[in-house]
């Protein structure tokens, strides 16, 4: 069965398992214009792509946010562990998005290399080696499937933490839930 997006237009659209949690509040703040409450400590951790087209509509102090290409938290696990252990976080929202630059990285290989040469002053050989070494670690095949697989991976690592895969549409700036 293929993962499917579920639009959140009312509170009743939020999956039952996430209702009355910080994940539901995130969806309500962002999509449903729920009035902001005042927070003195983070209620959840948001893992989302570094893409500049995404901005969450949430109150100050509501969440920790880790931004990484493709919402890939594999290389940010110490930060995730910190938020859980020291910050007391019990909920994580992983947010992928459409038109992600981490999809089909190899199609951008020359752009990447030429950009490092022009903008960073790198030699071609160094830029090529950098791309070849790191692109396989960060490339994703499909945004939705990746965020679901990342949620599953993190659920194994942090079994007492509720982890929800979400999807951000850059055209309408709305969050959707992903039916796994």
Binding residues for Zn(2+), as ranges, are 97, 100
Which residues have CB under 8 Å from 152's CB, separation 6+? Answer: none
Q: Which residues share a beta bridge with 136?
A: none
Q: Which residue ranges are tagged as binding site? A: 97, 100
Distance CA 133, CA 2 (A): 31
Give the residue ranges of DSSP H helices in the chain. 22-32, 77-85, 109-120, 124-138, 143-157
How do the residues of the chain divide into helix, strand and coil, expressed in percent and rounded to 5? Answer: 45, 20, 35
Maximum separation of any 2 CA atoms in the chain, in Å: 55
């Amino acid at each position: 069965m293929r993962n499917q997006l579920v639009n959140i237009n009312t509170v009743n659209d939020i999956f039952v398992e996430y209702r009355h949690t910080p994940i539901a509040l995130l969806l309500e703040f962002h999509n449903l214009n729920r009035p902001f409450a005042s927070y003195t400590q983070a209620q959840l951790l948001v893992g989302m792509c570094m893409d500049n087209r995404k901005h969450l509509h949430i109150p100050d102090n509501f969440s920790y946010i880790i931004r990484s290409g493709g919402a890939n938290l594999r290389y940010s696990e110490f930060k995730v562990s910190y938020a859980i252990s020291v910050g007391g976080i019990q909920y994580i929202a992983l947010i992928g998005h459409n038109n992600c630059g981490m999809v089909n990285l190899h199609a951008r290989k020359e752009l990447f290399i030429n950009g490092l040469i022009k903008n960073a002053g790198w030699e071609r050989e160094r830029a090529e080696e950098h791309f070849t070494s790191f692109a396989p670690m960060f490339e994703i095949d499909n945004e939705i499937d990746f965020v679901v697989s990342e949620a599953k991976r993190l659920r194994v690592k942090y079994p007492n933490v509720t982890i929800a895969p979400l999807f951000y549409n850059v055209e309408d700036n709305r969050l959707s839930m992903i039916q796994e």
